[in-house]
Amino acid sequence: MDYDIEIALIMAGGKGKRFGSSMKPFVEICGKPMIFNIINKTRKIFKFTIIAVSANVESFLHILKNKYKDVMLIYTTGIDYSIDIGIILDIIKERPIMIFPSDMPNITEETIKYVIKSTENIKEDIITITDIHGNPIGISIVKGYNLKKWTNFALDNKNILNINTVEDFEKAKMMCND
């Protein structure tokens, strides 16, 4: 790729309020925890994969530490998504960074590469990836430091599921016949 993003950040430390459990990243879809899918994809594409975790998922951290020794875990507050991203962006000075939710079980490497390629000429410091209706899907690219310089990029991919609710989880299970 002409445009290099070396760092993938996976957000996995939230409370999972809409889903009903902070253990949402570790809920199995298609036979494995949702977070494994996104980790496996980012490890193939990016030089570094960092996972933001918190006390909310403490009981499952040993799984990540044992299975993925090459990923870095950064502890955050787990209180609020935007606060946690702000903390991480203060810690990690390298740009650009591509941010993913941990609960997007069916994103493909091709889709990730397409988003990277399609946004390489966008100049704003933050790019929020949305669906065609303008709704954020959970992916962002942070290119710079001015968090007030942002834009959206609409991704016309109806197959990407960001699991936020039990209903989303049921849809995802149907996709893999679980």
Q: Residue 178 has what pLDDT?
A: 43
How far are the Cα atoms of 31, 80, 101, 160, 162 from residue 136, in angstroms, in the given order?
27, 17, 11, 12, 10
Per-residue pLDDT of the chain in tens (178 residues, 90 and over written 9): 445 899 999 998 765 556 655 567 777 888 888 899 999 999 999 999 999 998 878 878 888 888 888 999 999 988 888 899 999 999 999 999 999 998 888 889 999 999 999 999 999 999 999 988 888 988 999 999 998 899 999 998 766 777 776 777 777 777 775 4
Q: Residue 8 has what pLDDT?
A: 97
CA distance linking residue 37 with residue 34, whole number of Å: 6
The whole model's pTM is what?
0.87
Which amino acid appears at position 147 of this protein? L
Q: Residue 1 has what pLDDT?
A: 40
